[in-house]
Amino acid sequence: MEANLKRYREELGHELRSILGYWMKYAPDIENGGFVGRIDSLDLIDSNAPKGAVLNARILWSFSAAYKMDQCVEYRENAQRAYDYLSRFFFDEEFGGVYWTVDHLGQPLETRKQVYAIAFVIYALSEYYTVSWDGKVKEMAKSLYRNLVEYTFDQEQGGYFEAFSRNWDPIDDLRLSEKDANEKKSMNTHLHVIESYTNLYRIWPDEELKQHIIQLLDNFLNHILNREDYHLILFHDEMWNKKSDTISYGHDIEASWLLAEAAEVINNEFYKRTFEDVALKMAAASEEGLDHDGGLWYEYDMDIAHLVKEKHWWVQAEAMVGFFNAWEINGDEAFLERSFEAWEFVKKHIIDRQNGEWFWGVDETGKVMPGEDKAGLWKCPYHNSRACMEIIRRIANQRRK
């Protein structure tokens, strides 16, 4: 096992450098600043594409976290580039929060306040603070957190509403994307709010913030996690009534370790024990979506018994971490093998061996899905670079035990 872990760590170190090298080579927008809004699957840059808050936040997080790992000066420079652009063009100085998108020149484009996007900016700023040690960065993260609590937190039923107008008025269309249900509360937004609050708590151990993390953990226990099968319920109305019967295998395995991490960071023994147990059950439930080749399918619609036979890049990245985390909890080597197998699948089918980075995904025949982004509003260096860094760190910790 030790030899396999050593090889895993070395391979992921190489892959991390490759991923970030791709983004440093192709993504900087030399003409307009920041990073380009879209690169297609053939690595052609769309210089006029809109720029998204989520993409820019995830770039900021990735380069900040990578710099902390090995102090590469270029990583810090790209983190600063991302921060400078994000703070200059995406922040709404009048109403607070951040815009969903700006155009290629940095002018506000879609100005709605999407809680999901704001959460990612909190997550990224909290990470960048540990690189820059600039008090202004920390205050920006805290300010966004206060925006979420003031404007988007449901004081009556708990949880967070999805989206608002620029000045925080209610809006009709709350969806993150066209594929989502237009409901008041979603698993996806709550998962990334707790992810962002956890990272903020690392740099600002505030008691009120801790209570909001606990409330979110309770939201998952009481509403979002189906305690019968340990899959996540993707959408709810404002009263937490279930509004979806789709299983998202990638979110299941991602949540399994992110929720356990939140409980660990706030250092609450009850929630640590609870979410270690939950992590194991969610990892086991996620195995239902594994194919024989080690890849994890995308979604299963229980209403019509339809399996979406696609294997997306981010789902495989989260499988690598989630199954590794389950092995760390109980020592079951079957979970570790799942993590190894996910990485083997990525190496064979997802990594672009010619130009670098990961393809969006493959279909049931193993063919690369056409027309999808290499970089874009949703395709970022976050899931895959984070998987590399998480497992590198965890293997290092294993060797120190």
The C-alpha atoms of residue 3 and residue 324 are separated, in whole angstroms, by 16
96-113 pLDDT tens trace: 999 999 999 999 999 999
**Amino acid letter for position 217:** L
**Amino acid letter for position 187:** M
Q: Which fold has domain 2-400?
A: Glycosyltransferase (1.50.10)
The C-alpha atoms of residue 248 and residue 184 are separated, in whole angstroms, by 19
- Rg (C-alpha) for the chain, rounded Å, is 20
C-alpha torsion sign, points 69, 70, 75, 76:
positive
Return the closest-CA partner of residue 343 out of 392, 307, 397.
392
**In the chain, pLDDT over 70 holds for what percent of residues?**
99
The C-alpha atoms of residue 127 and residue 215 are separated, in whole angstroms, by 23
Question: Which structure tokens are listed for 387?
Answer: 């998987």
Q: Checking DSSP bridges between strand 246-248 and strand 299-301, what pairing results, if any?
A: antiparallel
9-57 pLDDT tens trace: 999 999 999 999 999 999 999 999 999 999 999 999 999 999 999 999 9
How far, in whole angstroms, is CA 271 from its chain's centroid?
A: 22
Burial class (CB in 10 A: 0-12, 13-18, 19+), 46: middle
Query: CA of 116: how far to CAs of 100, 158, 237, in Å?
Result: 10, 16, 17
Give the number of other Cβ atoms within 10 Å of residue 275's Cβ. Answer: 26
C-alpha torsion sign, points 181, 253, 117, 152:
positive
pLDDT tens, per residue, the chain with 401 residues: 899 999 999 999 999 999 999 999 999 999 999 999 999 999 999 999 999 999 999 999 999 999 999 999 999 999 999 999 999 999 999 999 999 999 999 999 999 999 999 999 999 999 999 999 999 999 999 999 999 999 999 999 999 999 999 999 999 999 999 889 999 999 999 999 999 999 999 999 999 999 999 999 999 999 999 999 999 999 999 999 999 999 999 999 999 999 999 999 999 999 999 999 999 999 999 999 999 999 999 999 998 999 999 999 999 999 999 999 999 999 999 999 999 999 999 999 999 999 999 999 999 999 999 999 999 999 999 999 999 999 999 999 985 55
Query: CA of 20: how far to CAs of 25, 29, 289, 326, 389, in Å?
Result: 9, 15, 29, 27, 12
Return the closest-CA partner of residue 32 out of 99, 84, 92, 94.
84
**Which three-class secondary structure state does DSSP give residue 360?**
coil
Q: Read off the pTM.
A: 0.98
Domain boundaries, the chain: 2-400
Answer for the pair 40, 374: CB distance below 8 angstroms, yes or no: yes
